A and B are shown apart, each in its own frame.
Chain A
């Protein structure tokens, strides 16, 4: 009963926190709300007319939604790169950063689920997928595995930070015997969500571009580069705009993680390119389409040739300690690395899987305005959720939000 009272007070206090802030904060939230509303309007059009309002066709049947979904699973998985050193290896530097990282994971997972729902032809019958009520094709379909691991990871990433914050809110220390097992589990779980998502594509013998053993490991490497890169940027922003103290040491350590992951990612990219282009087979055509275009169809060329140089540049810059330890360079590198991997692991991965088609037909894909509107709306939703979570967490950690503290 007492817990319920504390919880009620926490909800009230956090509502109070998220509705009050600087002018800049209100402007930011208003902007996000506006973009979300635009997204919802676009989605309502899609609901009414069907997925024909998107650029997808029978030839390229997955597009922007699934691309963003794939990428964001990686971002969500990246929270583990902070969880592991903090809770498992007891590295104290990460402790402040880890709550932010887990908040980011929650926001990314909510975006993932929203993108999947947006991509469904029949959202009204999605209950068919609920185990027990519907028919859950487990373990045959990798999509059911993905549903399980994503929701499980979402649960872990909500409960662990919530427990810690709930204790801190009452002015108590969080008991490590309670959250450490969950933290260790979430480390394995994070690897699982991204590996399972990769298997979703990797297991399709129909699509040679995806059907290669390196896809899963490369997903992990790119995720552990892009995710922490985003966390660094977010920490930089939080450090700038709030009183929340994040030490340079912490950011430098995360930068190390980004660097190593980006280097491994680059090695795998080289391996992939070598396989596709040294002795090209019929199965290399998708890669040819992606990098050079086929039959004069070259819609993806500008994208991939933006992504690859950015990727290489960021990795090279990060490799030198002097440059990496300069925060201006570091933030720039993180930004371009994030963009590069978003392109590469997003539609640079999904769209070429369908081109050329099973019988060699080359039909290109261009997202429509409505599709882009929904996508932006979902990104705004993610940013909105993250802002709320982060603001509450920071409030509690700074001691501004406290149970029974009548201010």
Chain B
């Protein structure tokens, strides 16, 4: 919250905009930055700075509200003013800064309030991104007592992610699907899966109409071949164009991502996607506490809520950390290849240059970054 030129509307309710000199470097005003468990303990220097801030710091930054209410006064005036303020702001007071509730619940509601009225992640500065991630981490800590790590890492320069799928190698084991669900904390109740494996009959070509994307038998089945689809991270994504609130966009490294907190759930993007790449949380997503992947990214596998869109992000939490997506790592046959299209020495570049590659529905002009090839 150290940056004041925000690009959205925010209510300054019971929140004190302190100069962040004395507080933690992450820019949070309350609770501590949360990424480390020792955030509650201040060093002596910090304590001194905070003490000075508390005594005289606010004099410098007081706004009109505080100038009226935050002054020393006798009991009678205090009661008078308190009554007035209670009458004026009873509703707001009870939600975000109730004097009855404890510190933790107050912090919780403070976080909830700020999260409800925060802006679009796409338009945030790096500090604002960090602040919302810190709030989410802290909120999780307050609710479950456990810590998680959440990244807000931006796209790196000279990186453009691409994916290739070897149809000759895929045997339909669906290890990729399971790895994806576990990695990305998808709703277990509705069995949401980003990846679909289509089982096709030999000799019929790529006949999706007769393919089965929901099989329950031993694989590889005689006389069949397999082909996986997921979000193709188009360079010209129709889903991004149609979103009324820019809750989904293409990052500089080519990933098409969703801000789950900004999405209004109209599902226009779902209708616009020609590749069945998007999934919707029709009810509250449930993941058993023990199965939650705590290594998260804001744009990736953090916990979603009901009524928002989600999709494959090429495992942004892994790919931006220099790792392969979970599906690539899990594939036992080596059918999946992932890498940086701008790196001439990458495997994906070798595949594109040496194999006869093709993409699905190229006539639609969406420019997918997902190629198929055969040995």
The answer to whether B262 and A128 touch across the interface, beta carbons within 8 angstroms, is: yes
Ordered nearest first, which 7 A-B pairs have the shortest CB separation? A121-B265, A121-B307, A206-B274, A52-B282, A52-B283, A360-B209, A50-B283
CB distance from A128 to the nearest CB of B (A): 5
**Given A58-B280, A128-B120, A360-B209, are A206 and B273 neighbors across the interface (CB < 8 Å)?**
yes
Q: Are A120 and B264 in contact (CB under 8 A)?
A: yes
Among residues 354 to 387 in chain A, which have CB atoms less than 8 Å away from a CB atom of chain B?
354, 356-361
Chain B contacts to A: CB under 8 angstroms: 8-9, 116, 119-120, 123, 190, 192, 196, 198, 208-211, 213, 229, 238, 241-247, 261-268, 270-276, 278-284, 305-309, 364-366
Closest Cβ neighbor of A205 among chain B residues: B364
Assess whether A137 is in contact with B243, with CB atoms less than 8 Å apart.
yes
In the complex, per-residue mask of A46-71: 1 if CB is within 8 Å of any chain B CB, else 0: 00011110001110011000000000
Is the beta-carbon distance between A358 and B275 smaller than 8 angstroms? yes
Produce 1/0 per residue, A11-42, CB < 8 A to B: 00000000000000000000000000000000
In the complex, the answer to whether B246 meets A359 with C-beta atoms within 8 Å is no
* CB-defined A-B contacts under 8 Å, sample of 14: A50-B283, A50-B284, A58-B282, A120-B265, A121-B280, A121-B309, A122-B265, A125-B116, A128-B245, A143-B244, A205-B238, A205-B366, A206-B273, A353-B271
The answer to whether residues A61 and B270 also contact, given A50-B282, A56-B282, A125-B264 and a CB cut-off of 8 A, is yes
Could you say which residues of chain A place their CB within 8 Å of the CB of B8? 133-135
Output the least CB separation between A281 and chain B (Å).
Answer: 12
A116 CA to B33 CA, complexed, in Å = 39
In whole angstroms, what is the CA distance A122 to B245 when docked? 13
B306 touches A121 (CB 8 A): yes
Complex CA distance for A47 and B234, rounded to whole angstroms = 33
Nearest-Cβ distance from residue B231 to partner chain A, whole angstroms: 12
With A121-B308, A135-B123, A205-B364 as contacts: A143 and B263 at CB distance below 8 Å: no
Chain B contacts for A359, CB-based, 8 A: 196, 198, 208, 211, 213, 229, 276
Distance in Å: Cβ of B250 to nearest Cβ of chain A: 13
Once the chains bind, are B238 and A206 in contact (CB under 8 Å)? yes
A213 on the interface (CB 8 Å rule)?
A: no
Q: Does A142 contact B (CB under 8 A)?
A: yes
Complex contact A121–B211 (CB within 8 A): no
Known: A128-B247, A137-B243, A144-B244. 13 other contacts (CB 8 A): A51-B283, A58-B192, A58-B278, A121-B309, A122-B308, A125-B116, A128-B262, A129-B244, A132-B9, A135-B119, A140-B242, A204-B272, A358-B275
Question: Known contacts being A129-B245, A204-B238, A359-B276, is A143 close to B209, with CB within 8 Å?
Answer: no
In the complex with contacts A49-B283, A358-B276, A143-B268 CB distance below 8 A: yes
Whether B208 lies near A360 (C-beta < 8 A) is: yes
Q: How far is the CB of B281 from chain A (nearest CB, A)?
A: 7
Q: Chain A residues near B119 (CB, 8 Å)? A: 135
In the complex, how many angstroms separate the beta carbon of B317 from the nearest chain A beta carbon? 23
Instruction: Check if B279 sits within 8 Å of A135, measured CB to CB.
Output: no
- For B280, list chain A residues within 8 Å (CB): 51, 58, 61, 121
Indicate if A136 sits at the interface (CB-CB under 8 A): yes
CB nearest neighbor in B for A49: B283
Given A50-B282, A58-B270, A147 and B264 contact (CB-CB distance below 8 Å): no
Residues of A contacting B284 in the complex (Cβ-Cβ under 8 angstroms):
49-50
C-alpha gap A56/B265 in the complex (Å): 13
Determine the chain B residues whose CB is within 8 A of the CB of A119 once the complex forms: 266-267
Q: Is A126 an interface residue (CB 8 A)?
A: yes
In the complex, A206→B241 CA distance in Å? 13
Residues of B close to A57: CB separation below 8 A:
282
Establish whether residues A141 and B243, one from each chain, have CB atoms under 8 Å apart when the complex forms. yes
Q: Determine if A134 and B209 form an interchain contact, defined as CB atoms under 8 angstroms apart.
A: no
Interface residues on A, range: 35 or more
B247 proximity list for chain A (CB < 8 A): 128
Q: Identify whether the interface residues of A are mostly helix, strand, loop, or mixed.
A: loop
A324 at the interface (CB under 8 A from B): no
Q: Is the CB of A122 within 8 A of B263?
A: yes
Q: Mark A124-160, 1 if CB is under 8 A from B, else 0.
A: 1110110011111100111110010000000000000
Assembly CA distance A361 to B210 (angstroms): 9
User: Which chain A residues lie closer than 8 Å to B279 at the CB level?
Assistant: 58
With A and B bound together, what is the CA distance between A203 and B268 in angstroms?
A: 11
A204: which B residues are within 8 A, CB to CB? 238, 242, 271-272
Q: Which of A62, A147, A360 lies in contact with B211, CB distance below 8 A?
A: A360
Residue A207 at the chain B interface, CB threshold 8 Å: yes
Question: Nearest Cβ in chain A — how far from B125, in angstroms?
Answer: 15
Given A61-B271, A121-B280, A141-B243: A133 in contact with B307 (beta carbons within 8 A): no
Closest Cβ–Cβ distance, residue A139 to chain B (whole Å): 10
A40 to B306, CA, bound (A): 20
A122 contact from B198, B274, B307, Cβ within 8 A? B307
Query: Is A361 a contact of B213 with CB atoms below 8 Å?
Result: yes
Cβ distance A55 to chain B, nearest Cβ, rounded Å = 10
Q: In this complex, what residue of B is CB-closest to A144? A: B244
How far apart are the CA atoms of A124 and B261 in the complex, in Å?
A: 11
With A205-B364, A206-B272 as given contacts, are A136 and B241 in contact (CB-CB < 8 Å)? Answer: no
B residues less than 8 Å from A133 (CB atoms): 8-9
Q: Which residues of A contact B263 (CB under 8 A)?
A: 121-122, 125
- Closest-by-CB residue of B relative to A121 is B265
CB closest residue in chain A, given B267: A61
* A136 in contact with B244 (CB, 8 Å): yes
A49 to B281, CA, bound (A): 11
A52-B283, A358-B276 given as contacts; is B213 within 8 A of A134 (CB)? Answer: no
A141 to B279, CA, bound (A): 20
Q: A52 touching B120 by the CB < 8 A rule?
A: no
Instruction: A136 to B8: give the CA distance in the assembly, Å.
Output: 12
Considering the chains assembled together, what is the distance between the CA atoms of A126 and B116 in angstroms? 11
Q: How far is the CB of A95 from chain B (nearest CB, A)?
A: 39
Contact B209 A356 (CB under 8 A): yes
Complex Cα gap A147–B9 (Å): 20
CB neighbours (8 Å) of B273 from chain A are: 206, 358
Q: Identify which of B190, B192, B268, B278 gathers the most chain A CB atoms within 10 Å of its CB.
A: B268
